Each structure stands twice: as structure tokens, then as C-alpha cells.
């Protein structure tokens, strides 16, 4: 029997697992970028403090260090594994693909994490205790490791979209071709720019607490310049980034991105520039609250659409352009000895090939068809379509209210089984499976569909029997 290594499915009916992951990821991106931004800012302040012999700056680092620690490092270091854990349950084979390709890169990043954690405590608690040169050295180590953590992760993020050099990776495999490609560097450039923008906004929260008014003004003006410039640079790098995306991503983008997307990005950019211009002209108005609000606004308005795009543009894949969102391997990767699972599914169907399929549902009968259909929807669709009214792309909304089972079945066999849609994976279904799924889908909009189907089945059986009696 051809078994396929599919894991059980987790399905969150209220908002869908996709959103849970997205939410945690967005929070993490905020904290981690903030952490890197704040690390750089603190290293710069330490440098100035030491160079110009300004002990009040060192005191300041000590005082705000706790803020930095709690709000970015601690929360960043919890939500980091948090994304990982949530992806694990939402897409076990997706995370597995990343882990098995890049475990050493992740482990390398972990070394930097350990250094960073020691570094952040030392920056805060050793300020004033270490001599100047030593403190500087700690600051430099801390700043550099913060950046190397980003270097280490960006290729992995990029692999989720596509292998660095797709052709070479598919043919030869290996870490380097998976990790590095034009997309990796485009993403790195944008993220680096964005990191400085984050530094500038978060820096506002920190700078608002400075006592020395002249210095505060000096710092805020510089932050405004850094923030404004990096926002412009980051945005102007976008065409480069888009140019490195695979063709299918462009199709998806043209057809599937929500209409509000482009305007909302432009509004965010405009608002950011306005904010930086304002703080440049009138640094006095910056309070911790205002800067905190600006940070939050960037989170909600800027990061969320960005993460949404990354999520939707790589459809139907979840990693490396070979693993589908619904966990099925959709393409051979000869270089890594990976075989597509589509043929096995075509041959045996989910009901036979899925390791965790309930035994009582391996045979499809008219009686258990709705239940089998639900199992199929959970397994093959729920990663991208919520099965309830709420959540991501509710499945019921994509079928007419009065859809008949036959019609749905025809669609499933005609479009999904054959892989004739752009943004959905090929989902091979045996005829009986398609029927079972159709019964279930029909029942989403019309609860009576099941009883009608069963009644039909009785008539069918009756017909059958009378046929036999006729003989």
C-alpha cells in the first residue's frame, strides 16, 4: 500500500489556523524588529556616551534597558518559538521542510541568540561597571549578533516562497541553493531598511524619556532622518523584490490580492513620512505615548498586509515550491530524492493513503459519506478554507447556495483533481471521494442535503432491489 506521510490535521473553527499563525507571526515581527532596532540604537548611544564621556547616556541605557528587555527581547524570544510552534501545528510538514533543509542554519542562529541574550543583560546591567572600551566592545558584539540573526533567518523565510536558485535546488539539492538566491537578497535589503525604520519609531519611545532637551532634539532629528530615508529606500526596493518572485506569484498578485492592498501600503508610507517630517520639525511634540502609538500603527497597518501578501502570494505552496499548503508533496525534487505524492493519491486516494485515516472511513458508503466528506475537507481544504462561517476563505462561500451534489462533484473532479486552478493545489480525488466531499460541501449551505442524499440512497437501493426482483 502506498502510504503518504500526512499528519493529523488541526483545524481552528473560529478564525482558522492560518490567522492564528499570522497573528503570532505579526506580533513576533514587531518585537524582533523592535529588538534589533533598539539594539542598534542603544549601541549608538553607548558609543556616543563613551566617546564624548557622557555618563547620563549610560544611565539612560540602564534605565530603559529594562523596557528593551521586557518588550522586545523577552517577547521576541517567546514569540519566535511561538511562530515555530504555531506553524508546527498548522503545517507540520511545512515546518519539517524548513527544519530538514536548514537545521544547521537554525542551530547557527541559535548560537547568535545565546550571545544576544547574554549581551542584552550585559548592556543593561554592566553599564557604568565596565570600563569604556570594554563596554563599547560589548555593544559592538551585541549589535553585530543582532544583525547576524536576521541574516540567518532571511534565507529560510525566502525558501518558504521559493528555493534560492529553484532550478539548481530541484536538480542538485543542498543547503546553499535552497538558502541563497536573488529573492533572499532582495528580502534582506528590504528587511534591513525596514529595521532602521523600526529603530526610528521605537527610538522615539526611548528618546522621549531623555532629560537633556538639546540632546533629545538632536537625537530625534537624526532618528527622523534615518526613519524617513529608510522608509523611502525600503519602498523603492519593492520592485526589485517583486522582480525576483516566481511567475505564479505575479499571477496570484494581480488576481488575488485584496483591492485595499496597494492603497493601504501607500497610505502607510505617507503616514510614516508625515510622522518623521513632523518629528523633525517639532521634536518637542514626541512623547512616549505618541511614539508608542506610531509603533503600533506600523504594526497594524504596515506589517499585517505585508504578512498577508507573503502568505497568499506563495499559494498553492507552503514551502520551496514543492510542498502544497495542504501538506501534500506536489513535485519531485530529484536533487533531494523527494517524490511527488500526487501519483500515489491518484492511485489510492486519501482514504487509503493517509496514515491517520480512521479505519471506519476507509470504505465509503452512502451512510458514512458525509463524515468521509468532512474528513476530506479537513485534510485537503481546511488549510486554506475555513469550514465554518468565519475565518479564512470560508469554503461554503465558494459554492452556490443551492448547489447540487452532482454539480459540486463534477467541479471537484474537473478542476481540483486535475489541477486546473491557478492558486489551488492539484487535489486528486477518487470518484467516491469526490462524491463524499460534495455531500459534505452541499450540507454546509443546505443542512437538508444529507438527508436528501441518504433518501436518494434508499431509493437507489430500492431501485437496485427492484431491479433484482425484476430479474
Partner 1 sequence: MDTAMLYALRDPLGVPAHPVIFLVLAVLTWALHIAAVHVLLGSSALAIRGAFSAQDHWRRLADAMVNTAKVAVSVAIVIGVAPLLFVQVIYDPFWYTSNVLSAWWVIAFIFILIVATLALFIFYAMNYEIRHKKVRAPSAMIIAIIGFLVVGFIMHALSVQTLEPDQWREWYAPNGVIDASGRSIHAFDPWRFGFFILLSFPVIGIWLFGYRRYLQGAGESDAGYLDFLQRLGTRLGAVGGVISLILLTLWMRGLPEDISDFATGIWPIAAAAALIVAVAYPVLLGKRLDRGMWGYTPVLVATVAMIVVATMREAVRWVTLFGVHGYNPLDYKIAMDWYSTGLFFLTFGVLGGTIVAYLLTIAWQAGQTEGTYTPSRAVNLLGTAGVVLLLLWIAQYFGFGLWTAYK
**Interface with partner 1 in residues 76-135 (CB under 8 A):** 77-82, 84-86, 88-90, 92-93, 95-97, 99-108, 110-111, 113-115, 117-119, 121-122, 126, 128-131, 133-134
Smallest distance, ligand HEC to C-beta of residue 164, A = 22
Grid cell at residue 75: 517577547
Grid cell at residue 87: 506553524
- The window from 42-50, 214-222, 352-360, 404-412 that contacts partner 1 (CB under 8 A) reads 352-360
Task: Tell me, rounded to whole angstroms, the distance of Cα 266 from its chain centroid.
Answer: 22
Per CB under 8 A, 189 contacts partner 1:
no
Q: Which residues pair with 338 in a beta bridge?
A: 333
**456 Cβ neighbours under 8 A, 6+ residues apart:** none
Strand, helix or coil at 164?
A: coil
DSSP state of 398: G
Q: Which of residues 440-469 bind partner 1 (CB under 8 A)?
A: none
Pick between residue 67 and residue 218 the one whose CB is nearest to partner 1.
67
From the list ligand HEC, partner 1, none, partner contacted by residue 316 (C-beta under 5 to 8 A by kind): ligand HEC
Neighbours of 469 (CB within 10 A): 7
From the list partner 1, ligand HEC, none, partner contacted by residue 427 (C-beta under 5 to 8 A by kind): ligand HEC
Are the C-beta atoms of 105 and 152 separated by less than 8 Å?
yes
Q: Which of residues 194-253 bind partner 1 (CB under 8 A)?
A: none
d(CA 264, CA 232): 16
Q: For residues 90-105, b (16+ Cβ closer than 10 Å) or e, as one string?
A: bbbbbbbbbeebbeeb
Are the C-beta atoms of 45 and 61 separated by less than 8 Å?
yes
Smallest distance, ligand HEC to C-beta of residue 397, A = 9
DSSP state of 333: B
Per CB under 6 A, 385 contacts ligand HEC:
yes
- The window from 40-48, 173-181, 398-406, 445-453 that contacts partner 1 (CB under 8 A) reads 173-181
Q: Which of residues 38-67 bind partner 1 (CB under 8 A)?
A: 66
Q: Which of 33, 165, 385, 430 binds partner 1 (CB under 8 A)?
A: 165
- The window from 27-35, 154-162, 296-304, 392-400 that contacts ligand HEC (CB under 6 A) reads 392-400
**151 Cβ neighbours under 8 A, 6+ residues apart:** 188
d(CA 45, CA 219): 9
Q: Which of residues 292-351 bind partner 1 (CB under 8 A)?
A: 329, 333, 336-339
Pick between residue 69 and residue 193 the one whose CB is nearest to partner 1.
69
Per CB under 8 A, 9 contacts partner 1:
yes
Pick between residue 253 and residue 301 the one whose CB is nearest to ligand HEC.
253
Element holding 112 (H helix, E strand): helix 92-125
What are the angstrom distances between the C-alpha of 390 and each of 18, 168, 437? Answer: 12, 41, 20
DSSP state of 403: -
Residue from 165, 201, 203, 205 nearest 183 by CA: 165
Are the C-beta atoms of 55 and 49 separated by less than 8 Å?
yes
Q: Which of residues 326-355 bind ligand HEC (CB under 6 A)?
A: 326
Cis peptide before 111 (omega within 30 of 0): no
Grid cell at residue 253: 498578485
Per CB under 8 A, 171 contacts partner 1:
no
Grid cell at residue 29: 515581527
Q: Which of residues 239-268 bind ligand HEC (CB under 6 A)?
A: 256
- The window from 110-118, 213-221, 240-248, 381-389 that contacts ligand HEC (CB under 6 A) reads 381-389
Smallest distance, ligand HEC to C-beta of residue 236, A = 29
Q: Which of residues 355-374 bind partner 1 (CB under 8 A)?
A: 355-356, 358-361, 371, 374
Q: Which of 33, 165, 191, 315 binds ligand HEC (CB under 6 A)?
A: 315
Q: Which of residues 413-432 bind ligand HEC (CB under 6 A)?
A: 416, 421, 423-425, 427
Q: Which of 37, 76, 204, 316 binds ligand HEC (CB under 6 A)?
A: 316
From the list partner 1, ligand HEC, none, partner contacted by residue 66 (C-beta under 5 to 8 A by kind): partner 1
From the list partner 1, ligand HEC, none, partner contacted by residue 425 (C-beta under 5 to 8 A by kind): ligand HEC
Q: Which of residues 371-400 bind partner 1 (CB under 8 A)?
A: 371, 374-375, 378, 382
Handedness of CA 379, 384, 385, 390 (dihedral sign): positive
DSSP state of 7: P
Count the residues in the chain. 471
Interface residues with ligand HEC (CB under 6 A)?
256, 315-316, 325-326, 380-381, 383-385, 393, 398-399, 416, 421, 423-425, 427
Amino acid at each position: 500500500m502506498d502510504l503518504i506521510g500526512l499528519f493529523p490535521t488541526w483545524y481552528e473553527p473560529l478564525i482558522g489556523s492560518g490567522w492564528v499563525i499570522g497573528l503570532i507571526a505579526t506580533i513576533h515581527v514587531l518585537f524582533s524588529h523592535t529588538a534589533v532596532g533598539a539594539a542598534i540604537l542603544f549601541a549608538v548611544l553607548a558609543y556616543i556616551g563613551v566617546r564624548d564621556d557622557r555618563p547620563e547616556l549610560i544611565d539612560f541605557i540602564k534605565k530603559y534597558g529594562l523596557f528593551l528587555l521586557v518588550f522586545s527581547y523577552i517577547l521576541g524570544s517567546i514569540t519566535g518559538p511561538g511562530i515555530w510552534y504555531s506553524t508546527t501545528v498548522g503545517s507540520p510538514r511545512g515546518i519539517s521542510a524548513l527544519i530538514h533543509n536548514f537545521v544547521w542554519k537554525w542551530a547557527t542562529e541559535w548560537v547568535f541568540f545565546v550571545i544576544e541574550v547574554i549581551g542584552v543583560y550585559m548592556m543593561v546591567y554592566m553599564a557604568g561597571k565596565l570600563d569604556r572600551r570594554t563596554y563599547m566592545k560589548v555593544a559592538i558584539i551585541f549589535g553585530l549578533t543582532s544583525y547576524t540573526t536576521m541574516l540567518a533567518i532571511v534565507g529560510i523565510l525566502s525558501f518558504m516562497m521559493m528555493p534560492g536558485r529553484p532550478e539548481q535546488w530541484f536538480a542538485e539539492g543542498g543547503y546553499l541553493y535552497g538558502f541563497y538566491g536573488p529573492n533572499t537578497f532582495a528580502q534582506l535589503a528590504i528587511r534591513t531598511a525596514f529595521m532602521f525604520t523600526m529603530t526610528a519609531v521605537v527610538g522615539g519611545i526611548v528618546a522621549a524619556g531623555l532629560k537633556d532637551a538639546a540632546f533629545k532634539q538632536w537625537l530625534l532629528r537624526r532618528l527622523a532622518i534615518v526613519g524617513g530615508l529608510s522608509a523611502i529606500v525600503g519602498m523603492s526596493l519593492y520592485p526589485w523584490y517583486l522582480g525576483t518572485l516566481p511567475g505564479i506569484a505575479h499571477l496570484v498578485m494581480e488576481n488575488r490580492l485584496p483591492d485595499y492592498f496597494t492603497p493601504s501600503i501607500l497610505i502607510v508610507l505617507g503616514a510614516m513620512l508625515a510622522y518623521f517630517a513632523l518629528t523633525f520639525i517639532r521634536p518637542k511634540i514626541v512623547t512616549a505615548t505618541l511614539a508608542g502609538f506610531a509603533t503600533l500603527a506600523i504594526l497594524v497597518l504596515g506589517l499585517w498586509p505585508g504578512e498577508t501578501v507573503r502568505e497568499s502570494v506563495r499559494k498553492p505552496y507552503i514551502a520551496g515550491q514543492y510542498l502544497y499548503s495542504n501538506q501534500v508533496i506536489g513535485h519531485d525534487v530529484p536533487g533531494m530524492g523527494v517524490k511527488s505524492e500526487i501519483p500515489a493519491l491518484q492511485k489510492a486516494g486519501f482514504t487509503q493513503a493517509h496514515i491517520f485515516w480512521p479505519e471506519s472511513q476507509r470504505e465509503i458508503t452512502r451512510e458514512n459519506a458525509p463524515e468521509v466528506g468532512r474528513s476530506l475537507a479537513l485534510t485537503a481544504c481546511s488549510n486554506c478554507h475555513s469550514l465554518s462561517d468565519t475565518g479564512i476563505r470560508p469554503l461554503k462561500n465558494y459554492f452556490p447556495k443551492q448547489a447540487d451534489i452532482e454539480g459540486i462533484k463534477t467541479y471537484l473532479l474537473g478542476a481540483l483533481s486535475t489541477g486546473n486552478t491557478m492558486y489551488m493545489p492539484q487535489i486528486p480525488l477518487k470518484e467516491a471521494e469526490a462524491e463524499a466531499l460534495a455531500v459534505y460541501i452541499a450540507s454546509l449551505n443546505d443542512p437538508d442535503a444529507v438527508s436528501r442524499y441518504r433518501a436518494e440512497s434508499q431509493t437507489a437501493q430500492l431501485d437496485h432491489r427492484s431491479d433484482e426482483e425484476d430479474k
